[in-house]
Amino acid sequence: MSLTRSTEETLKQFILKEFLPGEDPNELEETTPLVSTGILDSLATLKLVTFLEDEFGISVAPHEADEEHLNTITSIANLVHSKRGR
Amino acid sequence: MGDAPAALHGYLARSAERRPDHVAVVEPGLASITYRELDRLSDRLRDRLVALGVGPGQRVGLWIPKTIDSVAAILGVLKAGAAYVPVDPTAPALRNAYILRDCAVSALLVEVRFESALRQELGPYSAEPAWIVLPESGGGRGLAAALEQETPAPPTPTADPGPDALAYVLYTSGSTGRPKGVMLTHRAATAFVEWSAETFDVRVDDRFSSHAPFHFDLSIFDLYVPQYAGASVVLLGEERGREPAGLAALIANERISIWYSAPSILTMLAQHGRLGSHEYERLRMVLFAGEVFPVAHLRLLATQLPHPRYFNLYGPTETNVCTHHEVPLPIPDERVEPFPIGRVCSNLRGVVVDSTDAPVKQGEEGELCVAGPNLMTGYWNLPEQTLRAFLERDNERYYRTGDVVVEEPDGTLRFLGRRDRMVKKRGYRVELGEIEACLYRHPEILEAAVVALPDPAAGVRIEAHLATRSGQKLSLIATKRFCSEHLPVYMIPDAVKLHEALPKTSTDKVDYQKLREPS
């Protein structure tokens, strides 16, 4: 995995591979809603949180694993950045 | 019509007497047969069957393509007092052999091209059936030729096996993967035929379509309602019945006045039938049954064919039609929800029950159970499944349809879905049909079928199978986004699979069993 790749790009690749196999990568934008469309269901959310914790070395609190924080790639990246900046 | 015959084959005798020279059955462009001729040909088969020892309490298998020959064969079997068991002429020999052995037929009428495969699959058989092999089929010639191969059997009277004798056994796909035989009596069949003739105001100059194959229960209407009225039926064979452009011409040229089929063929007709290139001034009724007619497709059809009346008929093979609803025209552009299945037929009684078999209050959903003369007697040789199929209530036997309905304030019933198509996902009740109805709103989606599959992690996984108008790929994200505008998140399909066209069963319904198989 390239070190220079942006958080957004890393998230996008993970989401495409895990939750949207076969999907055209151009269809997944940083503002595509993920939770309200069911792309991230509860199981997928658990998987994503584990990935965030392992990949970025952060810890996500249960109350943060919700639609407000995880609904788009942008909002997930914001969550990651806010944790890492701490 | 007055004094109704007690036997299903009584209508033929009556029409042969009243209108001997009227055409009874037409094979378009090929042949036709009058009531007198049909009566005589089926008499000859009756005599042969009786000479072979066939009579009341026995079953006779039929593997003949849909022709005048198979119509005459069916009537000959009934006249001998036996029940007929029609198998799907296009099904593999293995499946048909299973059916014919399962219900222990005493005699078989088979077209020669199916004979060797069937003999091989039937294998050693405790009571070897008598074989009547037709060298061909079409115009009644094959049956006549098969009968002429032997010296004529002595004439015998037509049997009156009584209203409780079986008239036919229709095999439907069973949940166990093995077809199960639905047993129907003369009483059940005649009750349905007479209700139909009255409800649809059938006339002697009507010309009926026969689109459904004879192993499908829609054929009971096609075969016997015309005989009841002394009218004519136009047979649409297996190949012809699937070719929409040719069908439109047939409906016009054959002057069909009453059409009856599954919705899927009407959808094909509306989309690809080039309906505008013909006139259909005789067409006065379009009846459909067998599955939900997506409103967008029904509207497209009714826009092109605005004159006939449209009826949604509902009922499983076990009861034949048990509710009906006339579709009011025109259909508003904004309507998306399917039409109700309507009211319980006047000769039947319905009750909607909850999971404890207690009747629900009006407006609450529950399983529709139906009582009355139309009901099957049971599943052939399956006493336990038969027992589970019925609900005993007020000393009456109700058939559990397995369909969940709700009664509207105006007394019509709305179909909500199959009880077994309602799944729980994350604790929520999900009706797969509701997801399909949502997908049908998408302008690009031509066909949609949703299945639930067991999933080791999530418990259940919802898969949408789609065919698009342009054949273009539909993005999963776009599909999910579209669903999220209409459905709660737990109902959004987990996966989407695209097909050129959805797989169909031999009766033109979406083949859900196939869609559930791992790809």
Contact residues on chain B for A28, CB-CB shorter than 8 A: 477
The hierarchical CATH code for the domain B10-242 is 3.40.50.12780
**Which of the listed CATH numbers 1.10.357.10, 3.40.50.80, 3.40.190.10, 2.30.38.10 matches domain B343-417?**
2.30.38.10
Check: CB of residue B8 under 8 Å from CB of residue B224: yes
Q: Within an 8 Å CB–CB cutoff, is residue A24 touching chain B?
A: yes
> Residue B297: which H helix or E strand, with range?
helix B295-304
Residue B84 one-letter amino acid:
Y
Residue B449's contacts (CB-CB under 8 Å, 6 or more residues apart) are B436, B464, B465, B502, B510, B512, B515
Other C-beta atoms lying within 10 Å of the C-beta of residue B149: 9
| Residue spans per domain, chain A | 36-86
Check: CB of residue B166 under 8 Å from CB of residue B92: no
Condensed to tens digits (0 to 9), the pLDDT of residues B485-511 reads 888 888 899 889 999 999 988 777 888
User: Which of B:478-517 have CB within 8 Å of A?
Assistant: 478, 480-481, 483-484, 489-490, 492-494
Question: How far A20 CA lies from chain B's nearest CA (Å)?
Answer: 7
**Which of the listed CATH numbers 3.40.50.1980, 3.90.25.10, 3.90.1570.10, 3.30.300.30 matches domain B426-516?**
3.30.300.30
C-alpha distances out from residue B116 to B93, B133, B157, B201, B431, Å: 9, 11, 33, 45, 45
> Residue B33: which H helix or E strand, with range?
strand B31-34
Asked if A37 and B489 come within 8 Å (Cβ–Cβ), the reply is yes
User: Which residue, B21, B149, B171, is CA-closest to B105?
Assistant: B171
Condensed to tens digits (0 to 9), the pLDDT of residues B246-294 reads 899 999 999 999 999 988 889 889 988 889 989 999 999 999 998 889 8
Q: Within an 8 Å CB–CB cutoff, is residue A31 touching chain B?
A: no
Using DSSP, state whether B5 is helix, strand or coil. Answer: coil
The Cα diameter of chain B in Å comes to 72
Q: Within an 8 Å CB–CB cutoff, is residue A59 touching chain B?
A: no
Q: Within an 8 Å CB–CB cutoff, is residue A57 touching chain B?
A: no
Tell me the mean pLDDT in the region B338-365: 94
Q: Within an 8 Å CB–CB cutoff, is residue B455 touching chain A?
A: no
More confident residue, B299 or B241: B299
Q: Within an 8 Å CB–CB cutoff, is residue A28 touching chain B?
A: yes
Asked if B476 and A43 come within 8 Å (Cβ–Cβ), the reply is no
Q: Alpha helices, DSSP H only, in B80-184?
A: 93-102, 112-122, 141-148
Distance in angstroms (rounded) separating the CA atoms of residues A66 and A58 = 16
Nearest CA in chain A to B495: A20
Q: Is the ipTM of this complex over 0.90?
A: no
Q: Which of A39, A41, A42 sits opposite B477 (nearest CB)?
A: A39
Q: Which of A32, A41, A42 sits opposite B477 (nearest CB)?
A: A32
Asked if B480 and A24 come within 8 Å (Cβ–Cβ), the reply is no
- Give the pTM: 0.79
Q: Which two tokens stand for residue B38?
A: 């049909």
> What is the model's pLDDT at position A86?
54
**Residues above pLDDT 70, as percent of chain A:** 94
Contact residues on chain A for B458, CB-CB shorter than 8 A: 41, 43
Q: Is B505 exposed, middle or buried (0-12, 13-18, 19+ CB in 10 A)?
A: middle
Check: CB of residue B321 under 8 Å from CB of residue B299: no
Q: Which residue has the tokens 């040789």?
A: B381
Q: Alpha helices, DSSP H only, in B60-167?
A: 68-79, 93-102, 112-122, 141-148
More confident residue, B516 or B68: B68
Condensed to tens digits (0 to 9), the pLDDT of residues B352-374 reads 999 899 999 999 999 999 999 99
- The DSSP code sequence of B315-380 is --TTTS--EEEEEPSSPPTT--SPPP-BEEPTT-EEEEE-TTSPBPPTTSEEEEEEESTT---EET
C-alpha distances out from residue B340 to A31, B260, B407, Å: 40, 18, 9
Q: Within an 8 Å CB–CB cutoff, is residue A35 touching chain B?
A: yes
| Residue spans per domain, chain B | 10-242, 343-417, 426-516
